[in-house]
């Protein structure tokens, strides 16, 4: 954009991160999301690292203050009560150090710890002395409890960060919502319901939560009898990348890397489970039935971010980039379920586009990465730091003054080159 004032946009982005800072952790946005979300928080650290490295490390340290004894890092930490959000801590029935949910989220933290380390290696070496073991324990938990198929699975759509993606439709249809307690959603009081998951989805989300709570969040019971278990490109490629970055950090700290090397090799082979030859793309796969979802989503294009330079994926990538007005929508526009307004069923998310763009850059696909960056610059420059964007007209959608959109603007989108 010729008339885009990058300096002014940078100032706005920094102000959003500062404004959403709650004293050691960053909320995604006021009202709609009043707590600390796992991958949102790590993205915030990525943004803070561009202008306040100490604050970036504090973000990651606060996130890991809620780590469970088994190594899991929850997807929500409820540092203080807020009646404007559902489900609150009482819905989960957990008993960790910090009130929390009972599930996790995509593990981008090691990657952004590396990015923060690279900003100031001397400080990073100090900060990672306390953080390294915690990151390793979380990665080990993933490999023990989510990677039995070789790929990495989710036990709840919320674990993927892509709550209502079409990936989960078939598996959710097999979840019985009978017996859930009455509940009152709060999200639709902040955002138009047409932009959010449906009641059908929410009933099944809460049924899965109930199963986990009723079984004390016992991972073995959840693995063997849980109502939802789907191998996911999001978690598989993000954890593979995170393993590589944690290995890099281990090298800087003089740590043994044998375990990480084994995990990397295991996931490199495991992601082959996600190749859906019928659609020519990586795809989610229900581990209970063996069925693919049949969807090409933005998560399918995270292969390059995970270090898997698969030439087969250039075919759907180039088609989607050509057919889409802006960057990469969350769902292939050719899919019959495409919805330009509804959350992860079509809208463009700058954060996922940033991960895709980073991966493409690093594997030599600079032309596609440049297209994604330019489109995201245009979207944010014209419509502000929204949660996500309508892929047809570029309009803002979801929450506003959003931390992770501000963060990726500072860290990648606004950057030249």
| CB 304, CB 363: distance < 8 Å | yes
**Which residues contact residue 70 at a Cβ distance below 8 angstroms, ignoring those fewer than 6 apart?**
141, 219
How far is C-alpha 112 from the geometric centre of its chain's CA atoms?
A: 12
- Name the region of 334 (left: φ>0; alpha: ψ -120 to 50; beta: rest): alpha
Which one is catalytic: 159, 219, 378, 387?
387
Positive or negative torsion for Cα 390, 281, 304, 322: negative
Helices (H), 218-349: 219-225, 233-253, 258-270, 314-323
Which one is catalytic: 163, 167, 232, 332?
163
Q: CA neighbours within 13 Å on the CB side: how many for 116?
A: 33
Cα–Cα distances in Å, from 132 out to 10, 47, 117, 234?
31, 20, 12, 23
Positive or negative torsion for Cα 185, 15, 43, 5: positive
- The pLDDT of residue 3 is 61
Q: How far apart are CA 38 and CA 160, in angstroms?
A: 11
SS3 assignment, position 331 = strand
- 118 catalytic? Reply is no
| CB 252, CB 117: distance < 8 Å | yes
Residues of the chain with pLDDT under 70: 1-3, 417
Q: How far apart are CA 257 and CA 250, in angstroms?
A: 7
| CB 397, CB 29: distance < 8 Å | no
| CB 308, CB 237: distance < 8 Å | yes
- The pLDDT of residue 1 is 43
| CB 179, CB 298: distance < 8 Å | no
Q: How far apart are CA 142 and CA 71, in angstroms?
A: 9
Q: Considering only CA atoms, give the Rg of the chain.
A: 20
Q: How far apart are CA 296 and CA 299, in angstroms?
A: 8
- 120 catalytic? Reply is no
Helices (H) and strands (E) in the chain, counts: 15, 9
**Which residues contact residue 168 at a Cβ distance below 8 angstroms, ignoring those fewer than 6 apart?**
157, 160, 228, 230, 284, 293
Q: How far apart are CA 178 and CA 203, in angstroms?
A: 9
Q: How far apart are CA 35 and CA 88, in angstroms?
A: 10
Residue 21 DSSP one-character state: B
Burial profile 148-168: b = 16 or more Cβ within 10 angstroms, e = fewer:
eebbbbbbbbbbbbbbbbbbb
The beta-carbon contacts of 253-259 under 8 Å, at least 24 apart in sequence, are 253/125, 253/128, 253/129, 253/132, 255/132, 259/136, 259/140
**Which residues contact residue 124 at a Cβ distance below 8 angstroms, ignoring those fewer than 6 apart?**
57, 116, 117, 118, 252
Is pTM beyond 0.95? Reply is yes
């Amino acid at each position: 954009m010729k008339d885009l004032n990058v300096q002014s946009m940078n100032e706005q982005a920094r102000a959003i991160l500062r404004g959403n800072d709650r004293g050691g952790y960053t909320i995604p946005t006021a009202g709609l999301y009043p707590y600390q979300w796992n991958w949102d928080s790590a993205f915030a650290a990525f943004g803070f690292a561009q202008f306040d490295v100490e604050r970036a490390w504090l973000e990651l340290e606060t996130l890991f203050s809620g780590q469970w004894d088994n190594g899991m890092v929850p997807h929500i930490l409820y540092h203080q009560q807020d009646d404007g959000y559902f489900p609150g801590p009482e819905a989960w029935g957990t008993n960790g150090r910090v009130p929390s949910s009972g599930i996790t989220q995509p593990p981008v933290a090691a990657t952004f710890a590396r990015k923060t380390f690279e900003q100031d290696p001397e400080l990073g070496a100090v900060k990672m002395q306390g953080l390294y073991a915690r990151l390793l324990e979380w990665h080990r938990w993933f490999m023990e409890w989510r990677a039995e198929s070789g790929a990495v699975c989710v036990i709840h759509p919320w674990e993927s960060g892509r709550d209502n993606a079409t990936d989960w439709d078939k598996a959710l249809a097999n979840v019985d919502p009978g017996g859930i307690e009455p509940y009152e959603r709060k999200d639709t009081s902040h955002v138009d319901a047409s932009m959010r998951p449906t009641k059908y989805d929410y009933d099944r989300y809460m049924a899965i939560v109930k199963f986990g709570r009723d079984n004390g969040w016992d991972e073995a019971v959840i693995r063997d009898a849980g109502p939802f278990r789907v191998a996911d490109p999001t978690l598989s490629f993000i954890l593979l990348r995170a393993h590589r970055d944690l290995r890099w950090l281990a090298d800087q700290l003089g740590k043994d890397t044998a375990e990480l090397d084994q995990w990397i090799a295991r996931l490199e082979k495991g992601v082959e489970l996600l190749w859906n030859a019928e659609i020519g793309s990586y795809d989610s796969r229900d581990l209970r039935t063996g069925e693919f979802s049949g969807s090409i989503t933005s998560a399918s294009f995270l292969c390059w971010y995970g270090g898997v330079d698969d030439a087969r994926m250039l075919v759907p990538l180039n088609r989607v980039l050509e057919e889409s007005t802006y960057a990469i929508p969350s769902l292939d526009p050719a899919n019959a379920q495409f919805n330009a307004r509804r959350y992860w069923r079509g809208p463009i998310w700058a954060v996922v586009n940033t991960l895709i763009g980073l991966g493409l850059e690093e594997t030599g696909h600079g032309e596609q990465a440049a297209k994604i960056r330019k489109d995201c610059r245009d979207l944010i420059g014209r419509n502000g730091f929204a949660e996500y964007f309508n892929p047809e007209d570029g309009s803002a959608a979801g929450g506003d003054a959003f931390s992770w959109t501000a963060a990726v603007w500072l860290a990648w989108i606004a950057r030249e080159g």
